[in-house]
Structure 1
Amino acid sequence: MPADIGADGDAPTWGIELTPEHPLEEIADLAALAEDEGFDLALSSSHYFNRDPFVALSWMASATDEIRLGPGVVNPYETHPVRLAAQAATIDEVSDGRGVFGIGAGDRSALSNLGVEHDRPLRRVLETFDVARDLWAGETVTHEGTFTAKDASLNLEECNLPVYVGAQGPHMLRMSAKHADGVLINAAHPRDLEWAAGQLEQGLEERTNEKGDFEALAFASVSVAADEDEAREAARPPVAFIAGAAAEPVLERHDIDREAASTVSDALEQGELGEAFGCVTPAMIDAFCIAGTTETVAEQFEAALEFVDGIVVGSPLGPDLEDAIGRASEALERARSQ
């Protein structure tokens, strides 16, 4: 594990991503199951075509008692940053102080579908959580930067939510280590996590003591099932989106053919999802998803934990969500005990 990350030395954080593509009652039940299975953190993913993540989180709060809850992750383009601060504070209130704030730059292609310009993402994310922290502290804020706020304040009790930045590129990783409370590294493979840890170390060198501890979590696509082939087959959709958007250095790191990745990307852009999923290669699944049986996934979790403080089990989870939550918990326990 990189020095200075996860300063308290406790057991690894277990997190899970729940995607509100399902009815909210089901999402709440899955959050309760995750809590029962020992997960520490439950994130509701945020995509404009799914149910609202903050509404989902309110349902999750009602169904749980201890697990931390937050968006994983929202972006400060679709919604004004001050509004995001209010929404996150509301979740903290309804969950009796269990809120976290997952913030990232958002997906450029998804934002373009909405006609939203993805401008100066690093500054936008940093300014968003800086302003949010002031608002949560009860301050009235005027801000002029990548967005504007004039005499803004929240009609809510003061709170202090930990900020986790969704990051993959070098600049966002370093910024998160310098300024945030934690990072959600968009990676599953130890090779990518080791590279990310090096970027985080550079940011931590500039982190001041008053910022407190910093936690690095792998936000990893995971698919676990009793049958290896079924788990890998379920991994195709998220892997297609990851591979289709992967930067050239990431593809080179895993020796993935650029033409094969472009084929996936082109099919996604044309809305041919079935074709895109079918073009996902075994090498792409190996690089971008932790997929397999409980035993296989436990081994990959153990390898990942060499470089991070914990793991957020991300979409798709597996072909059967309830079964996958139990298996992921077992795999994390095995990895932790090694």
Structure 2
Amino acid sequence: MRGIELTPEHPPNRIASLAAQAEAEGFDTAFVSSHYFNRDPFVTCSKIAESTDEIRIGPGVVNPYETHPVRLAAQVATVDEVSDGRAVFGVGAGDRSSLSNLGIDRDRPLRRVLETFDVARDLWAGETVTHEGTFTANDASLNLEPPSERIPVYVGAQGPHMLRMSAKHADGVLINASHPADLEWAGEQIEQGLADRPDERGSFESLAFASTSVAGDEETAREAARPPVAFIVGGAADPVLERHDIDPDAAAAVSEALERGDLPDAFDRVTAEMIDVFCIAGTTETVAARFEAALEHVDGIVVGSPLGPDLEDAIERASEALRSACGD
């Protein structure tokens, strides 16, 4: 996969235009990120469907806490319907700090994510579902039939258990990492999950969902990386911070600022070391070299937020960097 994350911090029509550009540049999948403070990802996906012809479209990633899982299944099925079968379902446990802002406790995240896409698959197949687990559904069914024979499920993952679960049960994984050391470690967890994967599940795709910031100037690209890196740091597990010698107090300060909802302070607290570890940032040549290193450990790359200080320019540069990394 050559995917791209589009963040609906801009109006849906602007995001749809960016998706059309991404399609023309050779990207095959557009994931629309989901945060409560941005525009709705599913409305944005529908606009993208109107503006494109072939690129696959879906949320990347939504969580099954803010929205009931059955409702998520209906929303993804609707995207599949309006796009003539181009939907993908990117689902994950959600950002702990953002959920905290809404008073939501992220309870039993692995189980919740697995149950969410298991139920979604049954609903998409036309079944009536009764489920009692991390959420409840009684005689639930959908009043529409998605055109896709099978909507692919990609799990957003970073921790070992979620990585293994995705390899065993999902169609792919979106590894929230960009550094080769993290991707290599994630690959080891995925291999353990694949060892238990039933044959009927079919093939599995491992993807680096890599925060990327590319521009003509290195420092400009790095400055644009601060917001997404803050959110990555805010959700990073202690072993990840230890792997890269990130000061835990500095990481905690970023996380605390996010939980207070003080985004400017959180962004200011992002250090140069954090950008090095959690983002692929720099010129086209720098980014191409980092993509090539990442592809030693994964099947493909989703070019993640922020893309760069100038979005149209960044899409063009990211596409060029991916072609170079893949030897095209």
The Cα offsets for residues 78-98 of structure 1, whole Å up to 9 and x where unpaired, read as: 111111001000000100100
Which residue number in structure 2 is paired with residue 7 of structure 1? none
Shift of 1:168: 0.4
TM-score by length of 1: 0.94
The Cα offsets for residues 169-215 of structure 1, whole Å up to 9 and x where unpaired, read as: 00000000000000000001001000000000000000011000000
| Equivalent residue in structure 1 for 2:211, among 203, 207, 221 | 221
For residues 43-122 of structure 1, what are the structure 2 equivalents within 5 Å? 43-122=31-110
**Residues 111 and 278 (structure 1 numbering): CA distance in 2 closer, same or farther, change over 3 Å?**
closer
Shift of 1:119: 1.1
Shift of 1:247: 1.6
Amino acid paired to 1:297 = V
Which residue number in structure 2 is paired with residue 269 of structure 1? 259
Q: Is the 8 A contact 2:101 2:261 kept in 1?
A: no
How far apart, CA to CA, are the structure 1 residues paired with 2:173 and 2:234?
Answer: 23
Unaligned runs of 5+ in 1: 1-12
For residues 70-219 of structure 1, what are the structure 2 equivalents within 5 Å? 70-158=58-146, 159=148, 160-219=150-209
| Equivalent residue in structure 2 for 1:247, among 225, 237, 241 | 237
Which residue number in structure 1 is paired with residue 18 of structure 2? 30
**Residues 33 and 104 (structure 1 numbering): CA distance in 2 closer, same or farther, change over 3 Å?**
same
Q: Is the 8 A contact 2:218 2:283 kept in 1?
A: yes
| Equivalent residue in structure 2 for 1:42, among 17, 27, 30 | 30
How far apart, CA to CA, are the structure 2 residues paired with 1:140 and 1:280?
Answer: 47
Which residue number in structure 1 is paired with residue 300 of structure 2? 310
- SS at 2:326 equivalent: helix
Amino acid paired to 2:199 = N
Amino acid paired to 1:63 = S
Which stretch shifts more, 313-322 or 274-283?
A: 274-283
Shift of 1:290: 0.1
Report sequence identity in percent. 78
Alpha-carbon RMSD across the aligned residues, in angstroms, is 1.1
Shift of 1:239: 1.1
1:256 correspondence with 2:211: no
The Cα offsets for residues 58-101 of structure 1, whole Å up to 9 and x where unpaired, read as: 00000000000000011111111111001000000100100001
Which stretch shifts more, 159-168 or 221-230?
A: 159-168
Shift of 1:122: 0.7
- SS at 2:97 equivalent: helix
Amino acid paired to 1:245 = G
| Equivalent residue in structure 1 for 2:286, among 293, 296, 310 | 296
1:234 correspondence with 2:234: no
Task: State how many pairs are aligned.
Answer: 326
How far apart, CA to CA, are the structure 1 residues paired with 2:137 and 2:295?
Answer: 40
- SS at 1:322 equivalent: helix
Shift of 1:267: 3.1
How far apart, CA to CA, are the structure 2 residues paired with 1:106 and 1:14?
Answer: 23
How far apart, CA to CA, are the structure 2 residues paired with 1:109 and 1:277?
Answer: 14
How far apart, CA to CA, are the structure 1 residues paired with 2:65 and 2:289?
Answer: 38
How far apart, CA to CA, are the structure 2 residues paired with 1:277 and 1:79?
Answer: 27
| Equivalent residue in structure 1 for 2:309, among 313, 319, 336 | 319
How far apart, CA to CA, are the structure 1 residues paired with 2:133 and 2:265?
Answer: 42
How far apart, CA to CA, are the structure 2 residues paired with 1:186 and 1:196?
Answer: 10
How far apart, CA to CA, are the structure 1 residues paired with 2:260 and 2:80?
Answer: 40
- SS at 1:191 equivalent: helix
TM-score by length of 2: 0.97
